[in-house]
Amino acid sequence: EAGVAQSPRYKIIEKRQSVAFWCNPISGHATLYWYQQILGQGPKLLIQFQNNGVVDDSQLPKDRFSAERLKGVDSTLKIQPAKLEDSAVYLCASTAWREAFFGQGTRLTVV
């Protein structure tokens, strides 16, 4: 079974630039999450999708972050404009029931 795929693995941008991350979940998994993990901290939920609908985006900074999940499969997370404090690993996870399977993450550095 293929795992959760994310790209790119690494990204370096200047502050105020925009960036987008892509996630392909495990086939058949209805629920998809985006988490932000700042160095030395645990993952923090940004947004949760159930199929292509948003279930929880209460912790998403909506003035600069956006996410979509077209056709209930792949998802993209966008940051525009980026700030220095957005430097983190962005993890995508998907689940069919209770176990969440994580991708390797995209490491974003904002300079």
Partner 1 sequence: QKEVEQDPGPLSVPEGAIVSLNCTYSNSAFQYFMWYRQYSRKGPELLMYTYSSGNKEDGRFTAQVDKSSKYISLFIRDSQPSDSATYLCAMSGRQETSGSRLTFGEGTQLTVNP
Binding region for partner 1 (CB under 8 A): 4, 30-31, 33, 40-45, 48, 50, 55-56, 91, 93, 95-105, 107
Smallest distance, Å, CB 42 to partner 1? 3
> For tokens 């209805």, what's the residue?
30
Residue 97's nearest CA partner among 28, 22, 24, 46 is 28
The answer for residues whose C-beta is within 8 angstroms of residue 111's C-beta and 6 or more apart is: 12, 13, 14, 15, 84
Smallest distance, Å, CB 72 to partner 1? 13
Task: For residue 110, give both structure tokens.
Answer: 């904002």
Smallest distance, Å, CB 73 to partner 1? 15
CB nearer partner 1, residue 28 or residue 70: 28
CB nearer partner 1, residue 26 or residue 81: 26
Task: For residue 6, give both structure tokens.
Answer: 């994310």
